[in-house]
Amino acid sequence: MAEPASHPYEPLADPPKSFTLHEALQGTKTADGHWHVGKLEFANTKEYSDFRVGQVEMAGTKGQLATLYALETTGKIPGSESMNAAPPGTTIDGLLDVKDKKPDAQGFYHLGTLRVQKDEFSQFADLQKNICGKNPEALAALYHMEHAPDRPVTFRVTGDNDRNDRYEDGPNTIHWNPHTSARDNRNGARVDPGTAALHEETHWALRGGVGDTLSSIPSKEYSDYNERAVIEGSEARMQDIESRSKRHSHHGHVIPVRELDSIAPSVTVRQNGTEREAGPGFQQSGRVIGMKDGWVTLAVRGDGNQPEHRMDLKVEQLEAAFGHDLPAERVLLNGAQKHGDTVTISTTNDGRIVYANPAQEKRIHDQHQPWPPFPKEMPQFSGSPDLAERPIVPSQKADLVGVAR
Amino acid sequence: MQSAKAGDTEAGIGARIEAARASAFKLTIYHLPPGLRTLVAVTAAALEAFPGVAVDEIGDAATIGSALDALVAARPVPENHPLNVRYGLIFTDVGGERIMRAYKGRFASEGQIEDTPCDFEEPSLHEWLIARYPAARHG
C-alpha cells in the first residue's frame, strides 16, 4: 500500500474576507522614499510599482491573498521556516531503497513520487547521504519529494556545462551539478553543492500558489521573495551547520568546486614588521581601520600579555576565488560595511576561511535590509606595516572587541 | 557598435535605440521558461547558452518596430542594480552584426541595455513581452 502524501509546509491561514487584492496593494510612503505595505517594505517607488503590477498579473492565483496576508501581517516569509519533519523512524537508507530494482522505460528509478536516472543514482545517493546526515531538514525534503501529493518530481544530475542549479516548475524538475559552488558577489559567501541541492529542493517544496506569489514580489538583492525565502531559510540554516558565511544576495558567480578547492586557503598575519601564515583554527576579531593592496588592518583589543595593537591580515583565497574582479578588501569592506565595524576572520580546522561581521549579519537578518551598494571609490588609507607602531587613538579603543588566539 | 558603459547617460541609451531603429533587420528573442528558479541570478552573458532557453527569431519589420516602440516608450534610465535576466532582445543587421542588446527581468521596471542595468520608467516593454509570451505572466 502506498504511503500517504506529505506536505512540506503547513497551509497558510485564510485571510479575512475584507482582505481583498485592492486592500493588499495599499502602501504608504515614508520620508526616506521607502514604501510599506503592512510589514512588507520596498526600497523605492519603482519596486513598489513592480509589486503592484506583479500582483495584478497574478490576480486570482490560488494562495495569492493568503501569501500576501501572511507577509503583510507577520513580516515572516512563508517557506523560510523549516519544512515539516519526516516521520519518526525515517532513515536515509530507507528513503534511498529502490523497491523496484528495474528502471522504467526512460531509465528512471522511482523512489515513491521521486524519479532519478539510473546512471545518476549513485551521485544522487552520495549527495543525500551527505546532506541528510548533517541536516534533518534535508531528510525532510527528501521524504517530501518521495511522498508528493500532486505529481512526480524529477531530480537530474547535470554535467560540466550546466552550471547554474535550478528548479523548473513546468517539468517539476531539479537540475543539480555536483561540481559547482555559488559565490555571493557582495560578501564572498560560498554555497557548496550539498547546500545548493537543498536550495533547489526547497524551491520544489515552495512550488504552486505560495511560491508563485513569492516570485512575483520584487526583493532586489534577492531577485524576489521566493529566492529570499530559500536563501534566508533552509540555505542559511545549512550554512550554519557547515560553518560558512551566509549569502545576503541572489547575485553571484558559479565556480567549479575544483577551482575553489585547488586554491590553498591562506590568511597571512603581518605584525610588527613580520609575516606568518595563520594556519587552520585561526580566529581574529577586530575593528577595521584600513584596507589596501589586499591587506586588511584591524585594531585588536589586547589580552593580559599584550596591549591594544594593530594587525594586518591578507586573505588570499577570496582574491583568487574571484579572479581578481572582486578583491578581498572590497568583499571585506562590504562585510564590514564601513571602517570602524567589527569583523571576525577565521579559518576552520580543514583550512576553509570564514569571515563575518556577526552584528551586521544579525541586523540584516532581523530587518531584511539590503546590502548597501559598493562605494564608487575605495577609500584610501594606510595599511602599511608601520601602523603597528602607531598608538591607537582613544576614540578607537572603546570599540575594540575580540581576543587573538 | 560599441558596448554601453556603466556611465552611459539616458540620452546615450536613447541614441542606441534610435540607431537600432534605423538599421535593424532581425530580432532574436531569448526567453527562459516561466517558473524557473536558479541558484544564482541569471546574467545577460549567461542567457543565450542557458539550458532550456527558447529562441524566437523575428524577421518582419513591423514586429521589430513594435519591439523598439515598446523599448522607447519604456524610457530606460541607467540604474546601478544587477539584473536577474528572463528575456534578451538581440537586434542584428543584414550582415548578422549585433546592433543592440536589450534584456528584461521578471519585473516590469527591470532591464538592461548592452551592459548597463536600467530601470524602465513605463511597463510598455514588459507588456509587449507578456502579450507575446502569455505564459510568462505568472512567472
For residue B40, give the nearest of A162, A230, A251 by CB distance.
A251
Residue A187's nearest CA partner among A333, A403, A55 is A333
Backbone angles phi, psi at B111, to 5 degrees: -155, 180
Contact (CB<8Å) B39/A254: yes
Domains identified in chain B, total number: 1
Query: Is there a domain that residue B1 lies in?
Result: no
Query: Is there a domain that residue B4 lies in?
Result: no
Query: Is there a domain that residue B50 lies in?
Result: yes
Nearest CA in chain A to B108: A50
For residue A223, give the nearest of B34, B41, B109 by CB distance.
B41
The residue ranking higher by pLDDT, A199 or B93, is A199
User: Is A334 within 8 Å of A187 (Cβ atoms)?
Assistant: yes
Choose from B39, B79, B81 for mutation: most chain A CBs within 10 A. B39
Do β-strands A252-256 and A223-224 pair in parallel, antiparallel, or remain unpaired?
A: unpaired
Look at residue A366 and tell me whether its pLDDT is greater than 80.
Answer: no
**Distance, C-alpha B68 to centroid of its chain:** 10
> For residue A200, what is its C-alpha cell?
533547489
- Tell me the DSSP string of B66-99: HHHHHHHHH-EEE-SS---EEEEEEEE-TTS-EE
In this prediction, residue A380 carries a pLDDT of: 34
Domains in chain A: boundaries: 92-260, 263-397
What percentage of chain A has pLDDT greater than the value 70? 73
A267–chain B nearest CA distance, Å? 27
Residue A272 region, left (φ>0) first, then alpha (ψ -120 to 50), else beta? left
User: Is A202 within 8 Å of A235 (Cβ atoms)?
Assistant: yes
Q: Where do the DSSP E strands lie in A86-168?
A: 108-111, 114-117, 153-157, 166-168
Domain that holds residue B57: 10-133
B94–chain A nearest CA distance, Å? 31
The residue ranking higher by pLDDT, A377 or A265, is A265
Query: Is there a domain that residue B139 lies in?
Result: no
* pTM value surpassing 0.80: no
Contact (CB<8Å) A215/B107: no
Look at residue B116 and tell me whether its pLDDT is greater than 50.
Answer: yes
In this prediction, residue A255 carries a pLDDT of: 81
| CB-CB neighbors (< 8 A) of A252 in chain B | 40-41
Contact (CB<8Å) B107/A53: yes
Query: Is there a domain that residue B27 lies in?
Result: yes
Give the Cα separation of A105 and A202 in Å (integer).
28
In this prediction, residue A337 carries a pLDDT of: 47
- Give ipTM to 2 decimals: 0.90
The mean pLDDT value of chain A amounts to: 79
For residue B42, give the nearest of A47, A164, A216 by CB distance.
A164
Nearest CA in chain B to A186: B82
The residue ranking higher by pLDDT, B37 or A321, is B37
Contacts across the A-B interface (CB distance below 8 Å)? 95
pLDDT per position as a tens digit, A285-314: 888 787 776 677 888 887 777 777 888 887
Nearest CA in chain B to A59: B138
User: Is A79 within 8 Å of B139 (Cβ atoms)?
Assistant: no
Confidence tier at A223 by pLDDT (50, 70, 90): very high
Cα torsion angle, A374, A162, B92, B122, sign: negative
Query: Is there a domain that residue B38 lies in?
Result: yes
Look at residue A149 and tell me whether its pLDDT is greater than 70.
Answer: yes
Residue A209's nearest CA partner among A150, A155, A139, A142 is A150
Residue A353 pairs with which residues in a beta bridge? A347
